[in-house]
Structure 1
Amino acid sequence: MTVFILVPGVFTGAHVWEDTAARLAAAGAGVHAVALTGPGGPGGAAGTAIDLETHIADVLAVIDSVGAADGREIVLVGHDYGIHPALGAADRRAERIARIVHLDSGMPRDGVPALAAVPDQSLRKRLAERAGAGGAEGAAGELPPPARDEWQRWGSTAGVPDAALDRLTALAAPQPLGTLLQPLRLTGAVAAVPVTGVLCTGNGTSIEMVRMRVGFGDPALQALVDPRVTFFELPTGHWPMLSCPAELADVLLRAAAGEGHRLEPVGAAEPPAHLRPFLLDVPELPRERTGNVDLYLPGAEGPRPAVVFVHGGPVPAGARPTPRDWPTLRGYARYAAGQGVVGVTLDHRLHDVADYERAAADVAAAVELVRADPRVDADRIALWFFSGGGPITADWLGAPPAWLRCLAASYPILAPLPNWGMSGSRFRPAEAVADAGALPVVLTRVGLELPEIAATVEEFLAAAGSCGANVEVVDVPHGRHGFETLDPTDESREAVHRAMRSVLTHLTA
């Protein structure tokens, strides 16, 4: 018989698992929902320091309470912050654990505190500064639980019934800061334990997005192609035990049985999607490289208009080749140069979702470098953004300079995804478009877009429609995210031609 040990996330307790636990028990499984030590919970006596080690001990106590001699397999499930004490305990009892389930959680690493996974970027920064300034005392105290309308800062509440959200709020407890600030210590023993990731697409993560990140070559993600690693998706927000407990129970039972989607090793059958050939035959034109910027120059004389192509991400810092050498970016830049304008690619530092400010600064600096080049007509510039570069469009939509003749975006992410923790940030194109004025916007939309990204595009288009923004949509009904290398069809080629014609028309008018 399988025994599930369920570890809750921040501010929550064993109560969040009630419905899911009941369904697992009805299926014949053993179930233990861990009550983590807290200010008002077991072991939380006044004056007692509570840190990550305290919670690891809580999980260990439950593991040790499960008889080792009767052949029962333990599946350890960590939701949100709960994956940190779950992994810490599994590392010390690796021989007892049959599988670890990451339920809409990150991939904690040795020496890294749970603070690194807190989705609210502004809060994460404040707590890190407090800990750095206060030493041991900086880790003391508690983080108050969110009010009812603040849970979205910790993850999407999509699908959670109002009554369940009321109860979640009523039973929420302060989170001891030491649990977030103390680094996780792992010996490496846990690496031998099979793993399942349950991704909640309503919170901004999917198997396809993980596949893309793995394809970029991030060393931290290469373990995910191990055949012992499986994945499931749930079309809900960050609290599936509240929004879809029956579906969650079914997924956990299937995970325990070794089921789930497995990722192919990078390059096992063919190159990753972003390194496959561009769908158009474009001329080989000279390229000039200055710092992080490449210029593809046309044969025409005199200052020429320019199109600056801005890659998406996040892309790992060590990814090779870097984005400006990816076939899609090179292909578009050469295509533009073949049409008589300067094609520009650049590398910016969007290596994590916390990097948008510096990535935006990199883009702005690159644009100024391009405009200062005597071979470029500084008054005729177009910017073309791709995928995760989409949020940066907010800077240009909100205050478009006179020399910006067109803004284009291909399969863009046009709002921060729920698990990015960017509440209150400036990178919200759907809000910025109200100030775009007459700036032409050319948006290439793919019909087979990832649902979590498609929702941001529809939000943007609704906002653009309500303010009368000048938006042209180029549809690729059968295209996927990154269709230029994934779907080399006539439909896809015509979409690229149409988008480029439109941009060049605005640029040279």
Structure 2
Amino acid sequence: MTDYVLIHGAWHGSWCWSRVRGLLASEAHRVFTPTLTGIGERSHLLSRDVGLDTHIADVANLMIFEDLREIVLVGHSYGGVVARHVADRMPDRVRSLVYLDAFVPDNGKALFDYLPDSGRRYRELAVANGDGWKVPPPPARSFAVNAADAEWVDRQCTMHPLSTFEVPAQIRGACDGVPAIGYILAAGFEGPFRQFFTQAGERRWWQAELACGHDVMLDMPKELTAQLLQHR
């Protein structure tokens, strides 16, 4: 039995992992899918005080209080930023780290530093529709979510705190010493993630590509689960 901790991306929540969670559980593994503070079913907790450190603590505290060790830690999209920090602070509890179409920030770099417009579009959305500090969710179609799930995803997504995209990463480097590290690219989505996939190859991490949109866990849950089982 393996313990999996799956971290969702911006605007999402535990709900997006339901299919993969069920598939992993059917193989007798334990699966934890924490919803980050202020998002999803915890959207009632969103405030200006919620930041990247809050989200890191969400996952770190789960691991501490559930006494999780030798885990497979998976971060999707923005969740890659969270997973990288958690693995950096608690490398002894992580045996496998998987970035799923995710941001992999270097020390001192913010998520926005990796976007072509340096985050201008999201800052403008926050000003126009989020009181300047929270970002409304983009439409699911902008992430190439499959047509059958698009309306559901649009209903499920919630506001996300802007500051989490702007704060520089504080990485010491311990995360890169995790025994097994890999990167899964959503090849059917033309986002900013191929740069990290390329870096993964340079760092000699294992790599995989799945021909789907950005929300891999919704588009190809069986194929994603197979990858997670293979690299545990």
Q: TM-score, normalised by structure 2?
A: 0.85
Between the aligned partners of 1:40 and 1:198, the Cα distance in structure 2 is 24
Between the aligned partners of 1:80 and 1:21, the Cα distance in structure 2 is 18
Larger radius of gyration: 1
The match for 2:218 is 242
2:188 to 202, 206, 209: 202
Between the aligned partners of 1:47 and 1:254, the Cα distance in structure 2 is 39
CA displacement at 1:54 relative to structure 2: 0.8
Q: Between the two structures, name the one with larger relative contact order (CA 8 Å, sep ≥ 6).
A: 2
The letter of the residue matching 1:80 is S
Distance change in 2, residues 1:20/1:51 (3 Å): same
Between the aligned partners of 1:20 and 1:177, the Cα distance in structure 2 is 28
Distance change in 2, residues 1:181/1:140 (3 Å): farther
Tell me whether 1:91 sits opposite 2:68 in the alignment: no
Between the aligned partners of 1:14 and 1:6, the Cα distance in structure 2 is 8
Contact in 2 for aligned 1:20/1:245 (Cα 8 Å): yes
2:79 to 61, 79, 82: 82
Cα distance per residue 1:176-195 (max 9 Å; x no partner)? 11111111111111110121
The letter of the residue matching 2:169 is L
Cα distance per residue 1:336-383 (max 9 Å; x no partner)? xxxxxxxxxxxxxxxxxxxxxxxxxxxxxxxxxxxxxxxxxxxxxxxx
Tell me whether 1:125 sits opposite 2:111 in the alignment: no
The letter of the residue matching 1:101 is V
Between the aligned partners of 1:142 and 1:251, the Cα distance in structure 2 is 34
Contact in 2 for aligned 1:44/1:50 (Cα 8 Å): no
CA displacement at 1:25 relative to structure 2: 0.6
The match for 1:182 is 167
The match for 2:201 is 224
Contact in 2 for aligned 1:49/1:140 (Cα 8 Å): no
Unpaired segments ≥5 residues, structure 1: 132-138, 215-220, 257-509
SS of residue in 2 equivalent to 1:195: strand
- Aligned residue pairs: how many? 225
Between the aligned partners of 2:159 and 2:117, the Cα distance in structure 1 is 19
Tell me whether 1:143 sits opposite 2:124 in the alignment: no
CA displacement at 1:255 relative to structure 2: 1.7
Between the aligned partners of 1:172 and 1:108, the Cα distance in structure 2 is 24
Between the aligned partners of 2:186 and 2:47, the Cα distance in structure 1 is 38
Distance change in 2, residues 1:55/1:49 (3 Å): same
Between the aligned partners of 1:202 and 1:46, the Cα distance in structure 2 is 32
Between the aligned partners of 1:46 and 1:14, the Cα distance in structure 2 is 16
Cα distance per residue 1:292-328 (max 9 Å; x no partner)? xxxxxxxxxxxxxxxxxxxxxxxxxxxxxxxxxxxxx
Distance change in 2, residues 1:39/1:30 (3 Å): closer
Cα distance per residue 1:255-288 (max 9 Å; x no partner)? 21xxxxxxxxxxxxxxxxxxxxxxxxxxxxxxxx
% identical aligned pairs: 30
Between the aligned partners of 1:51 and 1:166, the Cα distance in structure 2 is 28
SS of residue in 1 equivalent to 2:168: coil
Contact in 2 for aligned 1:110/1:185 (Cα 8 Å): yes
CA displacement at 1:151 relative to structure 2: 2.8
Contact in 1 for aligned 2:107/2:169 (Cα 8 Å): yes
Between the aligned partners of 1:30 and 1:18, the Cα distance in structure 2 is 13
2:229 to 250, 253, 265: 253
1:165 to 150, 153, 158: 150
Contact in 1 for aligned 2:141/2:150 (Cα 8 Å): no
The match for 2:57 is 57
CA displacement at 1:116 relative to structure 2: 2.7
Tell me whether 1:100 sits opposite 2:97 in the alignment: yes
Tell me whether 1:156 sits opposite 2:144 in the alignment: yes
Contact in 2 for aligned 1:52/1:184 (Cα 8 Å): no
The match for 1:356 is none
1:388-407 equivalent positions in 2, closer than 5 A: none
Contact in 1 for aligned 2:183/2:208 (Cα 8 Å): yes
Distance change in 2, residues 1:177/1:204 (3 Å): closer
1:110-509 equivalent positions in 2, closer than 5 A: 110-118=107-115, 121-122=116-117, 124-126=119-121, 141-146=133-138, 150-153=139-142, 155-157=143-145, 160-162=146-148, 164-193=149-178, 194-204=180-190, 221=199, 224-227=201-204, 229-256=205-232
CA displacement at 1:6 relative to structure 2: 0.6
Between the aligned partners of 1:113 and 1:91, the Cα distance in structure 2 is 16
Contact in 2 for aligned 1:140/1:178 (Cα 8 Å): no
Distance change in 2, residues 1:59/1:43 (3 Å): farther
Contact in 2 for aligned 1:73/1:96 (Cα 8 Å): yes
Contact in 2 for aligned 1:104/1:238 (Cα 8 Å): yes
The letter of the residue matching 1:116 is D
Q: TM-score, normalised by structure 1?
A: 0.41
The letter of the residue matching 1:144 is P
SS of residue in 2 equivalent to 1:203: coil
CA displacement at 1:45 relative to structure 2: 3.8
The match for 2:36 is 36
Between the aligned partners of 1:88 and 1:177, the Cα distance in structure 2 is 18
The letter of the residue matching 1:191 is D
The letter of the residue matching 1:124 is G
CA displacement at 1:44 relative to structure 2: 5.4
Between the aligned partners of 2:99 and 2:114, the Cα distance in structure 1 is 13
Between the aligned partners of 1:31 and 1:130, the Cα distance in structure 2 is 34
Cα distance per residue 1:128-175 (max 9 Å; x no partner)? 6999xxxxxxx96200112xxx3343x322xx242x222111111001
